[in-house]
Amino acid sequence: PVDMVERLGRMLKGSAAPRSVLAVAGVDLAVREGEVIGLVGESGCGKSTLGRMLTGILPPSAGQILYKGTPVNKLTPVLRREYDLGVQMIFQDPYSSLNPRMRVLDIIGEGPVVHGLVKRSGKEAYVSELMQKVGLDPAYRFRYPHQFSGGQRQRIGVARALALKPSVLVCDEAVAALDVSIQAQVLNLFIQLRHEFALTYIFISHNLGVVSHISDRVAIMYLGRIVELADTDTIFSRANHPYTQALIKELPVLRTGQRQFDPIKGELPSPIDPPPGCPFHPRCPMAMDRCKVERPLLRDINSGGVQHLSACHLNQETP
């Protein structure tokens, strides 16, 4: 059972950088148990930072991350352990996240042994079962990462995360490095494992098309802020925010496989020095004078219905 609510405040300090970078700000996101929530935005928009904070790799410098209602830095040792094991991350590059000198048996099996989830004597059987669950032949358990294809390596990464019996998986661009045909297979694996292991996913991607396959709800991020959040069908049928509408226009036309050439104009501004007012205004075809000076708040535009949040002044013209 997971009730993970994530509240982040104003600033995030770049871990190594000497100056503060506004990477994620004003994000207030509750992740519901058992759901798949997609986080979409261009690279540099703060998605990965948010993912790393959720898994505890990166501490937020302000604001807080709550696990079962308690800030993660104030968890009791028992809950802290549950959080550390229970929230696992799947990375974009399966190769660089796997130790090249370790056999798959150890990559997947050492963590659970060290954490006392399985006895050392049971490790091989435990790993073999997990390899089967993710579609790998257990006979390959003595092989090394370089002996596998990209898609297989991502399956190893998934098995390594599952070995710690997580309830939440944060997947950061988890299929982006794979060939398109392999992407679909790995996405299907995620969908299958979700039900089998009762997982909650936070699925981070720059690709709205990829996210839509797997997500119940989608959060669209721009320059470190959520600008729209709704269930997936609503995002596609009734996108409200001009940035979301532009992202949808950029999706390939599914039937013909052709791309509509209507790219979002302009560069993504630096998150260190975001534009005043609505951060999307320099690129927004609908921008008004007000947008240059006043930041729109994220509000529920679906009064009385299912939550549909959007941050755009166009909604506030007709209250």
Task: Give contact residues for ligand SF4 (rule: CB under 6 A).
Answer: 241-242, 278, 280-281, 284, 286-288, 291, 296, 312-314
Residues from 73 through 132 that contact Mg ion (CB under 5 A): none
Contact code string over 256-295 relative to Mg ion, x by CB under 5 A: ----------------------------------------
- Whether the CB-CB separation of 171 and 203 falls below 8 Å is answered with yes
> Which does residue 48 touch among ligand SF4, Mg ion, none (CB within 5 to 8 A, set by kind)?
Mg ion
Compute the least distance from the CB of residue 223 to ligand SF4, in Å: 11
In Å, how far from its chain's centre is CA 218?
10
Q: Both tokens of residue 32?
A: 């519901």
Compute the least distance from the CB of residue 202 to ligand SF4, in Å: 25
Closest of 5, 52, 57, 53 to residue 28, by C-alpha: 5
**Among 6, 40, 41, 48, which residue sits at the site for Mg ion (rule: CB under 5 A)?**
48
Compute the least distance from the CB of residue 163 to ligand SF4, in Å: 43
155/241 with CB nearer ligand SF4: 241
Q: Which stretch binds Mg ion (CB under 5 A): 33-41, 44-52, 188-196, 225-233?
A: 44-52
> Which does residue 53 touch among ligand SF4, Mg ion, none (CB within 5 to 8 A, set by kind)?
none
**Other Cβ atoms closer than 10 A to 264:** 18
**295, burial (CB in 10 Å: exposed 0-12, middle 13-18, buried 19+):** middle
- When asked if residue 205 is in the footprint of Mg ion (CB under 5 A), the reply is no
- Supply the Cα-derived Rg of the chain in whole angstroms: 21
Q: Which residues contact 295 (CB under 8 A, 6 or more apart)?
A: 276, 277, 278, 279
**Cα–Cα distance, 316 to 308 (Å, whole number):** 14
**Cα–Cα distance, 248 to 242 (Å, whole number):** 10
Compute the least distance from the CB of residue 8 to ligand SF4, in Å: 21
14/275 with CB nearer ligand SF4: 275
**Cα–Cα distance, 292 to 284 (Å, whole number):** 11
Q: Both tokens of residue 153?
A: 């390596």
72/278 with CB nearer ligand SF4: 278
Contact residues for Mg ion, defined by CB under 5 A: 48
